[in-house]
Amino acid sequence: MRLSLALLCLAIPGLPQPLTIGVEGGVRLSRDPQIYDPIIDRSNSKPYLVGPMIEVRLPFHFAFETDALYSRLGNTSYIPLIANESYIRTIANSWEFPLLVKYRLPVPRVHPYVSVGVAPRRAGGRINTIHYGFYPSDVTFSSVDWHAHDQAFVLGGGVGVKLWHIRITPEIRYLRWEVPSRPSSSDAAYYLRVPQNEAQVLLGIGWPAR
């Protein structure tokens, strides 16, 4: 949280600077961790990420970028006990909000850059459970809503290419998520089997707002 506030404070002096608004999309290369056999433990997470982005140019080749990236996460577990079987499916709508400070290297035409920052994540969804008892008619259903959060340290790099009035920025990001060994109900890892180390490949398309 302190690092997030510090990054926002760094961006305040750059508000009068050129502003770029656009969209960011890509895929997560890292898979969800698997705890049990794949027959009884399956990830339902989607690899895509997509959302809006804003970048503010700062002096001395620096810039500040913030995104709002949506993704779909989830998993399904099967508990095969005798006369006591359960299917548990967890689904989630996830929003990541990366706050990044970028430094552009003074290279003409293709402008390489590195970025560092944090990515708070807010996730919420539902846990659906189907329970089978001893008798064929002994079937019960339950559904519980949940909300949780976590954050990651972000390190990235890419290039910026200007094509007419459009800026195209392919980028690779590494995220180190905070995954507690004993997560509480306020942690996303309490509901989802999320990876601690994650790699993302993203492509941004932006238009100068002024």
The percentage of the chain sitting over the pLDDT mark of 90, rounded to a whole number, equals 59
Report the distance separating Cα 32 and Cα 193, nearest Å: 6
Is it the case that residue 81 has pLDDT exceeding 90? Answer: no
Of 54, 46, 31, nearest in space to 93 by CA: 46
For the chain, first and last CA: distance in Å? 31
Report the distance separating Cα 53 and Cα 156, nearest Å: 15
Q: Bigger pLDDT: 3 or 66?
A: 66
Residue 102 tokens, joined: 């970028």
DSSP string covering 7-66: HHHHHGGGTTS-EEEEEEEEEE-SPPP--S-TTTEEE----EEEEEEEEEE-STTEEEEE
pLDDT digits (tens, 9 = 90+) for 146-157: 999 999 999 999
Query: Are 110 and 161 within 8 A, CB to CB?
Result: yes
Domains of the chain: 2-72+95-123+149-208 (2.40.160.20)
Separation in Å, CA 15 to CA 10, 102, 120? 10, 15, 22
pLDDT digits (tens, 9 = 90+) for 62-77: 999 999 999 999 988 8
What is the per-residue pLDDT for 95? 97
Residue 74 tokens, joined: 């989830």
Using DSSP, state whether 189 is helix, strand or coil.
helix
pTM for this entry: 0.84
Report the distance separating Cα 157 and Cα 48, nearest Å: 19
* Average model confidence (pLDDT) across the chain: 87
Separation in Å, CA 98 to CA 55, 128, 188? 12, 30, 17
pLDDT digits (tens, 9 = 90+) for 97-134: 999 999 999 887 788 999 999 999 999 999 998 888 77
Is it the case that residue 136 has pLDDT exceeding 60? Answer: yes
Residue 152 tokens, joined: 């990651």
